[in-house]
A and B are shown apart, each in its own frame.
Chain A
Amino acid sequence: MSGAAPRGMAAIVRDAGLAALIALGVGAPLLGLRTEPVGRGLTLIPRPGLLLSVVAAVFVGRILVGLFMAQRALRRRVISPAPRAMLAPPGFRSWLGRAAGPAMLAFALLLPFMPGIGRYEIDLGTLVLTYVMLGWGLNIVVGLAGLLDLGYVAFYAVGAYSYALLAKHLEIGFWAALPLTGLCSAVWGIILGFPVLRLRGDYLAIVTLAFGEIIRIVLLNWVGLTGGPNGMSGIPRPSFFGLPFSMAGGEGTFAGFFGLEPSPLHRIIFLYYLILALALVTNFVTIRLRRHPIGRAWEALREDEVASRALGLSVVAVKLTAFATGALFGGFAGAFFATRQGFISPESFTFIESALILAIVVLGGMGSQIGVATAAVVMIGGFELFRDLEQFRMLVFGLAMVAIMVWRPRGLVSSREPSVALGARKMVGAEHVAEGRG
């Protein structure tokens, strides 16, 4: 850092000053003033403290970003004279890349038992993991197969409702119902897939968007089956492999069986691990499939449809399996959602959910598992963090998204691990591709 200092530092501070000025300009009317209804009119209450702290945060943050970029540029410069062809030096970044996954996994596994973690934090963790799973599911369709799907929430809804119906009317338990709900969603994935086989890009996006809305509107209006806008309540809660979580304790319950003090936390922790397991299954299957001909075919399709066809791939089969597999995991997540909430209604499955999941995939760097997980943590965690700001959080969010897309046009994690490698893995070329635009 000190190496870049003398000239770099001044520029960085100037840049940060500019950013702070912009923040001041934008923030003054938005944050600096609050309207308060007084009598019949409104009065403006100035909030200089909040405004100044935000401006200060922008200033400091921008300096940090500037330093980070400068350091990176420095490292680039050191690297670039080396022969461009093959081996990118396995430096700090690739070490970080390798360590990030296991570290995140260890953190997720230990979270419920960390000191200072209560019910709220575990609930938040469960929510984040639900989006991690949805992000990974959609990543198959968008990130791997390159099919822009704006209606992914439809499969989440199908999963939730089919679980609710199976559990309430046929009294099928969660574990037995889970594969059925996944199957149901996958079938819907194929049903969506057929009409859009010939569509690409924007047209595909529009049709999938419409599909998402159709499913929601059907759920809203088929009152006899789904309860319409009132939704479905009293959805059975999951049991611990047959042992219910009950506050009463005693013989046949989870607490009784393990000789524990009955506590509402048990179920919450169980739900947390349940979604963690489901998410990990999604991840595992995706990673395996990427090394499998099907996964390679998805990626080839994303890269070039004409070439894929010329190499003997059946574009129909490739697209349909991508839709079906993505939908399958969306359905699992939906079933989890239903059993966790105990109540579902069409309101939970609006377009904004699809947009959020898609944002997670895009921000994460399409196709990167760890990037998607990071983006889910940042986005859902960010939503919680800015909860107090209420009406501003969408704004903060939009800005964050624009910023990420400007700085990292290919998402947070932009390198792509090859799915085929010869014996000795050669880390290559990602640097050169990663930063290109397009």
Chain B
Amino acid sequence: MSAAANGAMLAVEDVTTAYGAIVALRGVSLTVGHGEIVTLIGANGAGKSTLMMTICGSPAPREGRVVLEGRDITGWPTHLIMRQGLAHAPEGRRIFPRMTVLENLRMGAEVLNGAHFDQDLEKVCALFPRLKERLGQRGGTLSGGEQQMLAIARALMSRPRLLLLDEPSLGLAPMVVRQIFAAIRDLNRETGLTVLLVEQNAYHALRLAHRGYVLVNGRITMTGTGAELLARPEVRAAYLEGGRA
């Protein structure tokens, strides 16, 4: 297990996380290799968001270890973990509504103390041209899709090596979902960004990802390449029934 931990971008080892008496994760292990897109699928309440937040240290795991680029970060305070080349675009976008798009991006770059801000701003504007036109607009007045682009762009402003994306397709039109997934793929191909992606939209996520994990009631029940999981009847029955939306 530790062999995997040393080579991987991220290794989660036997992690158990609980909110008081409610145990949300039970002995979860997963690895994300350098330059991989890994997706985590599962029903509502399976513990996907909890796993992402546990990686970020809030809540801290009750048992197990989280190893980032060979360094054990279990129990570290969140604000230090977030300075280790890891960025998290949390579920529900959570942009700062009364601050402008530019200020939101500025907040994303805060861990770098504003170093190479202008350069990075250009990069995210090239990735999401819609944002470029709206730099002075308040975050709260953006459309849902634009807000999601902003959430991803804001996370990218800290120059992460590993990006955690929690349901980026939430509430978006299929067209916008495709745009966002295309942006993730481009980032991964062009810059080698490693991505851990949580998705309800299992079809798209598994097509995009190199590998995937299925989380059920706080346990990993299946793992494999995207194509393998897509072909599994259990996966099809549970997550793809009723079409490919």
Contact present for B138 and A429 (CB under 8 Å)? yes
On chain A, the residues within 8 Å of B6 by CB distance are none
Q: Mark A283-306, 1 if CB is under 8 A from B, else 0.
A: 000000000010011011001101
Any chain A CB within 8 A of the CB of B56?
A: yes
Contact present for B140 and A433 (CB under 8 Å)? yes
Docked complex: B148-183 residues within 8 A CB-CB of A = 154, 158
Give the segment of A116-124, A184-192, A311-319, A352-360 that binds chain B: A311-319
Asked if A311 meets B108 with Cβ closer than 8 Å, knowing A428-B138, A429-B100, A429-B138, the reply is yes
Closest to A426 in B: B136
Docked complex: A301-334 residues within 8 A CB-CB of B = 303-304, 306-315
Inter-chain CA distance A52–B83, complex, in Å, is 68
On chain A, the residues within 8 Å of B133 by CB distance are 85-86
Inter-chain CA distance A436–B140, complex, in Å, is 11
Q: Which of B96, B134, B136, B141 contacts A300 (CB 8 A)?
A: B96
On chain A, the residues within 8 Å of B56 by CB distance are 309-310
CB distance from B216 to the nearest CB of A (A): 25
Docked complex: B76-128 residues within 8 A CB-CB of A = 77-79, 82-83, 87-90, 94-100, 102-103, 106-108, 110-111, 113-114
Closest to A307 in B: B94
Asked if A314 meets B99 with Cβ closer than 8 Å, knowing A428-B138, A432-B141, the reply is no
Inter-chain CA distance A239–B77, complex, in Å, is 50
Closest to A431 in B: B141
Docked complex: A167-222 residues within 8 A CB-CB of B = none
Inter-chain CA distance A299–B95, complex, in Å, is 12
Inter-chain CA distance A433–B137, complex, in Å, is 10
Contact present for A307 and B110 (CB under 8 Å)? no
Inter-chain CA distance A308–B56, complex, in Å, is 13
CB distance from A87 to the nearest CB of B (A): 9
Inter-chain CA distance A296–B99, complex, in Å, is 9
Asked if A433 meets B103 with Cβ closer than 8 Å, knowing A86-B133, A297-B110, A311-B108, the reply is no
**What is B's interface to A at a CB cutoff of 8 Å?**
56, 58, 77-79, 82-83, 87-90, 94-100, 102-103, 106-108, 110-111, 113-114, 133-138, 140-141, 154, 158
Contact present for A433 and B141 (CB under 8 Å)? yes
Inter-chain CA distance A245–B124, complex, in Å, is 62
Contact present for B141 and A429 (CB under 8 Å)? yes
Contacts A311-B82, A312-B82 known; 8 new A-B pairs at CB < 8 A: A303-B98, A307-B94, A309-B79, A311-B108, A420-B102, A432-B141, A433-B98, A436-B140
Closest to B93 in A: A307
Q: Mark A250-261, 1 if CB is under 8 A from B, else 0.
A: 000000000000
On chain B, the residues within 8 Å of A315 by CB distance are 79
Any chain B CB within 8 A of the CB of A419?
A: yes
On chain A, the residues within 8 Å of B83 by CB distance are 312
Any chain B CB within 8 A of the CB of A110?
A: no
Inter-chain CA distance A385–B108, complex, in Å, is 49
Contact present for A300 and B138 (CB under 8 Å)? no
**What is A's interface to B at a CB cutoff of 8 Å?**
85-86, 293, 296-297, 299-300, 303-304, 306-315, 416, 418-422, 426-430, 432-433, 436
Contact present for A428 and B137 (CB under 8 Å)? yes
Contact present for B99 and A300 (CB under 8 Å)? yes
Contact present for A306 and B135 (CB under 8 Å)? no
Contact present for A422 and B137 (CB under 8 Å)? no
Inter-chain CA distance A430–B138, complex, in Å, is 7
Closest to A419 in B: B103
Q: Which of B99, B111, B140 contacts A418 (CB 8 A)?
A: B99
CB distance from A292 to the nearest CB of B (A): 11
Q: Which of B111, B114, B134, B141 contacts A311 (CB 8 A)?
A: B111
On chain B, the residues within 8 Å of A299 by CB distance are 96, 98-99, 103
On chain A, the residues within 8 Å of B58 by CB distance are 309
On chain B, the residues within 8 Å of A416 by CB distance are 98
Closest to A428 in B: B136
Inter-chain CA distance A307–B106, complex, in Å, is 13
Contact present for B111 and A420 (CB under 8 Å)? no
Q: Determine which residue in A303, A311, A418, A428 has the highest number of CB atoms from chain B within 10 A of its CB, and name it.
A: A311
Inter-chain CA distance A315–B78, complex, in Å, is 9
On chain A, the residues within 8 Å of B79 by CB distance are 309, 312-315
Closest to A309 in B: B78
Contact present for A296 and B137 (CB under 8 Å)? no
Closest to B118 in A: A422
Asked if A433 meets B138 with Cβ closer than 8 Å, knowing A293-B110, A307-B90, A309-B79, the reply is yes
Contact present for B134 and A420 (CB under 8 Å)? no
CB distance from A395 to the nearest CB of B (A): 34
28 contacts between A and B (CB under 8 A): A86-B136, A293-B110, A296-B106, A296-B110, A297-B107, A300-B96, A300-B99, A300-B107, A306-B94, A307-B90, A308-B107, A309-B58, A309-B78, A310-B56, A310-B88, A311-B111, A312-B79, A312-B83, A312-B111, A418-B136, A420-B102, A422-B102, A422-B135, A428-B100, A429-B100, A429-B136, A432-B138, A433-B97
Inter-chain CA distance A436–B98, complex, in Å, is 11
On chain A, the residues within 8 Å of B90 by CB distance are 306-307, 310
On chain B, the residues within 8 Å of A310 by CB distance are 56, 78, 82, 87-90, 94
Contact present for B140 and A421 (CB under 8 Å)? no
Inter-chain CA distance A310–B152, complex, in Å, is 12
Closest to A424 in B: B136
On chain B, the residues within 8 Å of A436 by CB distance are 140
On chain B, the residues within 8 Å of A306 by CB distance are 90, 94
